[in-house]
Structure 1
Amino acid sequence: MRLIKDEEFIRGKAPMTKEDIRALSIWKMNLSDKSNVLDIGSGTGTITVQSAMIAKDGKVYSIERDEEAYNTSIKNIQKFKANNVLLEKGEAKDILDKYIEDKLSFDSIFIGGSGGDLELLIEKSDLLLKNQGTLVMNFITLNNAYKGIEKVKSLKYETEITAVNISKSKENSYMMIANNPIYIISCYKGEV
């Protein structure tokens, strides 16, 4: 897998999953070349595009509600020629209802943004995730991480929690600048 570097992506004001966190999150999503993937809260589209490169014979569905983030995602999808992506603009809970109605199913789902509807999005994702599928969630706050963990545990997922603290050198010095810690919650859906 070729990891796309942060500086290769077109940036806007939307949040971006940084390359170190993106590499770990993508790895934990257990993607194959035929995976069907769902990215909820695409932001700048980094997870969407990286997933599309791995699941080249699959399909990546991506949802974003913010206008600027949506437009930035489109630019990155076009830049990297991720032709197996379907990006939709709107509220994730409504789009997920449509996917449930259409009987779509996914091998892997990533939740990077919830718009305050985290528990509801997890419930709807559970209906869309195949047995033996993987749900990965990234959080910057302990409060949301806790809510997400408790919800997937109530749905009987096998859960792994990873706290990631990354510091990088500043320019040509040895001074290390810390990024915000990120909680990566990896959830495996066993047989129902």
Structure 2
Amino acid sequence: MKDTEFIRTKVPMTKSEIRAISIDKLDLTHAKRMLDVGSGTGSVTIQAACSYPQLEVVAVEQNPDALALTRQNIEKFQCQNITLHEGKAPIELQGPFDAIFVGGTGGNMQEIFDWCQKLLLPGGRLVLNFILLENALEAAQIAETMDWEDLELTSVQVGNWTGLGKGHYFKPQNPTIVVSCQKAKKE
């Protein structure tokens, strides 16, 4: 899905290239339920819901402006398989989930991991996006300490072709670190 298809405000959005990688790492092909923590514009929520119509997507957002924007985008794309919750994670939710995407931890990294550990099915996928290296490293350390499997950190630098005078250049986006891991298949 193109970024330009989404209703936008000043709320940060996971850009299309990062969404594609993150959704791929979630491995949603056979998933029934997915949780998006910190939905922002709703771009990950909506792309997952549209790409996998069998999927029930639950989104959580604490920022009132972002919550309203996610709701607008859900209506624009006419997604029937999304449930939106207001609140700061971790909140009480009915699990379990096959996959969880975290677009922001709100400074609650350990709490988020503990919460995801409870909500994810054995073998479930967890994907987190960070722009700060320190946060990505903290997430990796927690994942290792909690014996999460298949831990990967992927640094993604995207530049988009942009006109400049008589020529062109690749206008860089913020580098993003995609952290992905899997809950142990047997507890």
Q: Which category of TM-score, normalised to the shorter sequence, fits these structures?
A: over 0.9
**Post-superposition CA distance 1:68-102 (Å, at most 9, x none):** 10000001111111111110111112x2xx22xx4
Whole-angstrom distance in 1 between the partners of 2:52 and 2:104: 22
Equivalence for 1:142: 133
Structure 2 unmatched runs, 5+: none
Does residue 178 in structure 1 map to residue 172 in structure 2? yes
Identity %, equivalent residues: 37
User: Are positions 1:164 and 2:161 aligned together?
Assistant: no
Residue 82 of structure 1 corresponds to which residue in structure 2?
79
Aligned residues: 183
Query: Secondary structure at the residue paired with 2:174?
Result: coil
Structure-2 residue corresponding to 1:116: 107
Q: C-alpha separation between the residues in 1 aligned to 2:110 and 2:163?
A: 40
The aligned residue for residue 25 of structure 1 is 22
Return the alpha-carbon distance in structure 1 between the equivalents of residues 52 and 173 of structure 2.
29
Counterpart mapping for 1:49-88 below 5 A = 49-88=46-85
Is 1:16 the counterpart of 2:13? The answer is yes
Aligned to 1:106: 97
In the aligned structure 2, how far is the partner of 1:38 from the partner of 1:67?
A: 19
Answer yes or no: is the 8 Å Cα contact 1:36–1:55 preserved in 2.
no
TM-score normalised to structure 1 length? 0.91
More strand per residue: 2
2:32 to 32, 35, 40: 35
Contact 2:31 2:98 in 1 (8 A): no
**Cα root mean square deviation, aligned:** 1.3
Q: Which amino acid aligns with 1:186?
A: S
Contact 1:34–1:56 (CA<8 Å) still a contact in 2? no
- Compute the TM-score of the two structures, normalised by the length of structure 2: 0.93
Whether contact under 8 Å (1:62, 1:85) holds in the other structure is: yes
1:9/1:46 contact within 8 Å kept: yes
Contact 1:33 1:56 in 2 (8 A): no
Q: 2:130, 2:31 → 1: CA distance? A: 27
